Amino acid sequence: MTLNDIGETLCYFNSLDITKYQKFSLVLKHWPSLNENLWFGKIDFSHFHNDSSQIRCLITDLLKDYKAVPNLDDPSNPANQISKICYLLPEYLKSKSFRDPFCAHYNPRINEHIIHPGGTRQSILNLFHKGPIETYYFNTGGNYFEFLHGCQQVNVFEFFEQSLEEPSEALMLGKGQANYVMDIIPDHGTFIPHILNSSGVSALSTKQEEAYNNYSTKLSDPNYKVWSNHKLKEIKPWETDEVSNATTIISFIKYTPAAHLRALLLMLCGIEYSDSQLTVSHK
């Protein structure tokens, strides 16, 4: 199923004149036929698809053309993704988690376990996270994996009964426990459950714009300077050879491509940070 096919199927599915209760009732009859279930538990992040090439391209494109005024509503625009990361990264570094629940599913087309919704949280976790993470996981096609041994199956109706709403109203609204919102996306010959925090969804555009304004103002300031003990071609417009002149100081203890990307994100976000490979500070 191509992205266009998914979009057309989703439009058709959403156009059906049925309540969300009826929609979930149909889906919950479909899943058992394929031995599919929604699971919840701690899964080691090493099991999930890890590819930093996309975030590398996004950062490079954004810093090359940082003076352009972006359309933050356009997912293909680098500023769309980077501003989301700059909004979410401080939250993650404080708590090692996100306010939105972490969801994943098996993608049979590439034989990988994929985080959804994709891009931003995946990029943060690829670069900053190690170890297990609490996950809502959907075993597309009924496939069973050893890491599910420590997880529990989620009863979707019970999920809604733990809602802040009345159960029947919660199911119609798609609202579940802790005021989460669940929806279903057709793909891979089935319906993939997506779970989000309802307040996070509504707040995203405002937070995203604030994050964009913060780093855009900084990059446009002629007095903003960056010093690094390792040559980073992306920072050339702001590079200084004098530590005393620097607004942002990047010190590599051990240079790696991943540390390189962390440094650029931390520079944009203005976050103080230190790990075994890297230290970033700001004046």
The pLDDT tens digits of the residues spanning 220-279 come to 999 999 999 999 999 999 999 999 999 999 999 999 999 999 999 999 999 999 999 999
Q: Which tens digits make up the pLDDT trace of 123-168? A: 899 999 989 988 999 999 999 999 999 899 988 777 765 543 444 4
Q: What is the mean pLDDT of the chain?
A: 83
Tell me the pLDDT band of 91, cut-offs 50, 70 and 90.
confident
Question: What is the rounded CA–CA span in Å between residue 109 and residue 120?
Answer: 22
Query: Inter-axis angle of helices 53-64 and 78-95, to 10 degrees?
Result: 120
Q: What is the mean pLDDT of residues 35-46?
A: 92
For residue 2, pLDDT beyond 50: no
pLDDT at 96: 82
Domain boundaries, the chain: 3-202, 222-282
Whether 1 has a pLDDT exceeding 50, the answer reads no
Q: Above 60 in pLDDT, residue 280? A: yes
Mean pLDDT confidence for 50-66: 87
The 10 Å CB-count burial string (b at 16+, else e) for 126-151 is bbbbeeebebbbbbbeeeeeebbeeb
Percent of the chain with pLDDT over 70: 82
Q: What is the pLDDT of residue 11?
A: 60
Residue 113's pLDDT band, with cuts at 50, 70 and 90, is very high
Look up residue 160 and give its two tokens: 């809604």
How confident is the model over 189-215, as pLDDT tens digits?
888 888 877 665 556 678 888 999 999
Phi, psi of 98 (to 5 degrees): -120, 155
For the chain, give the percent of residues with pLDDT over 90. Answer: 46
